[in-house]
Amino acid sequence: MTSKELREAFRSKFDVVGIIKTKTYLDEARKINPSIENVDYETMVVLGLSYPKRIFKHTDTHLVPSFYTFGEDYHQVLKKRIDDVMVNIDYKYISGVDNHPHNERLAAVLSKVGYFGKNQLIINKDYGTYMFLGIVFIDLALDETFILDIDDDCGTCRKCITACPTEALYDGGYDMKRCISFYNQEKKALTDDEIDANYSLFGCDICQMVCPKNINKGIKIHPEFELTGKEMVSIIDMFELSQKEFKTKYDNMSYLWKGKTILLRNALLVMLRQKNLKYMNEIEKTITEDKPKWFNDTALKVLNRLKKI
């Protein structure tokens, strides 16, 4: 199989395809993490699949996660598309989407699938930051690589740094622990500052929304990312449905990957911002011994503050 044929096969299922030598990636990855897992397969394919920007607003009964979670869970979508391509290609392969030991963003930079923005996201010339990344290592030696053309960078722009509400972004870096999108996915008791800054049911979109590279991007909608009606999450469902019932009702949504309790914890923070007093009884009832301490600690703080409104 030639590089061109491999690239065309992936182009039928992905918006952006880069092909590099695994060695090129590993040499660079080891400079950042010397213990990075070795891969024997010679070729690395770096894939981008775009997703659309769609803005929904919280109401006093339904809350909204980050819009990258809309539609089917992107981990499964990308993996299925990779498998659909590889089913016709008779070589061994390993694929990864998000949850794997490799450095996807580094691979994206090396293949020029995009450049590394000050908002810590890969920015592609056609899709901006609205693109999921996937990687595939293939046991195949190729005649050539496919490194895309990119001649762009953030330049003097600092919009995302200025807009970041928690100062997680700064010139030359990023403090992950301060990032809303990081800590609102963590099972931990939150500090008062973290409680005050969180505005989302899951994730944070601010540094994508303000990015000028995203103007007129986020338009294309792949069938898997069509709206399903599960973008707005019912507050009462978070209180009243069991984990199992909730998973059944909101199945296949990527905001569910850490379970319902973390969504409910974040929902309490949004309700505090909204000064939403509709659910005081439900909040009181949800603080129980069978809940984890990190949840009860934060829920109690929120309850006490809501009582003072």
| Catalytic sites, residue numbers | 98
3-class secondary structure, 35? coil
CA distance 119 to 292: 33
Closer residue to ligand SF4 (CB): 204 or 235? 204
Closer residue to ligand SF4 (CB): 211 or 268? 211
DSSP letters for 125-176 = TTTBT-EEEEEEEES---S--B--------TT--HHHHH-TT--EETTEE-G
CB of 200 to ligand SF4, least distance (A): 9
Query: Looking at 78, 82, 179, 267, which residue binds ligand SF4 (CB under 6 A)?
Result: 179
Closer residue to ligand SF4 (CB): 7 or 54? 54
CB of 231 to ligand SF4, least distance (A): 19
3-class secondary structure, 205? coil
Query: Looking at 47, 109, 204, 256, which residue binds ligand SF4 (CB under 6 A)?
Result: 204
Which listed range, 24-32, 117-125, 227-235, 273-281, lies at the site for ligand SF4 (CB under 6 A)? 117-125
CA distance 244 to 171: 44
Query: Looking at 23, 30, 100, 158, which residue binds ligand SF4 (CB under 6 A)?
Result: 158
CA distance 161 to 290: 40
Residues 205-244 that bind ligand SF4 (CB under 6 A): 206-207, 210-213
Query: Looking at 22, 50, 119, 184, which residue binds ligand SF4 (CB under 6 A)?
Result: 119
Strand partners, 20: 44
Does residue 173 bind ligand SF4 (CB under 6 A)? Answer: no
Nearest CA to 225 among 52, 6, 88?
A: 52
DSSP letters for 37-55 = PP---SEEEEEEEE-----
Residues contributing to the site for ligand SF4 (CB under 6 A): 117-119, 154, 157-160, 164, 166, 168-169, 179-181, 204, 206-207, 210-213
